[in-house]
Amino acid sequence: MPDLNVGELRKHAQPVTRWMRLSDVRLKDLRCVGTSPLLKGPFKVETTVEVSCKQVDDTMTVGARYRVEAVSEATDDRPQAWTVRLQMVADYVGREGEDEAPPQFTKDERRAFGLLVGLVTVHPYAREVIQSTSGRMGYPPFSAELLESTAAAPDDATFRLLPGEFAEPDEAD
């Protein structure tokens, strides 16, 4: 997958940002599994996030699927201690006072909006769910990393998507 240029993403996200406003953020799905009896740490935790963005009429929906897995490094067999899977959703609607409905945005515009705006919107809520859920399973509460805003990044900065990190609109729930 090619590197994504922050300047290009900003350019593509701008038309969507101009038309849409945040309406709702919610937890759509949560699944967790913890090993019992509790395993001893230290733990190695891996997080995977997949983002999707789809538009239906004047609503834009950004979904972020998180899979967080912790394995114990206390023994050589490295058993899985816990897994948290969740999906956060943010809905954006056309701005009030506009005389017309938002246009149908392109795939590039939806992708840029999902990555630069939608993911940053839902991530703090996902962090809280992950921390609370891992702690309620009896393990040390895990705090997912903060996302760095692209607001301060230069236009020529790049980042790379891994396969599966962005689902096309017809693949989104």
- C-alpha to C-alpha distance for 114 and 165, rounded to whole angstroms: 11
Q: Is 58 inside a domain boundary?
A: yes
Q: What is the pLDDT of residue 98?
A: 67
Mind listing the pLDDT tens digit for each residue in 33-68?
A: 999 999 999 999 999 999 999 999 889 999 999 999
Is pLDDT larger for residue 102 or for residue 2? Answer: 102
Taking residues 149-171, report their average pLDDT.
Answer: 63
Q: Residue 164 pLDDT more than 50?
A: yes
Domain of 60, in residue numbers:
3-95+102-147+159-168
CATH number, domain of 40, equals 3.10.420.10
Q: What is the pLDDT of residue 23?
A: 96
Q: Is 152 inside a domain boundary?
A: no
User: Sign of the C-alpha dihedral, residues 138, 140, 145, 146?
Assistant: positive
Number of domains in the chain: 1
Q: Is 153 inside a domain boundary?
A: no
Q: Which of 83, 84, 87 shows the shortest CA–CA distance to 173?
A: 87
Q: Residue 121 pLDDT more than 70?
A: yes
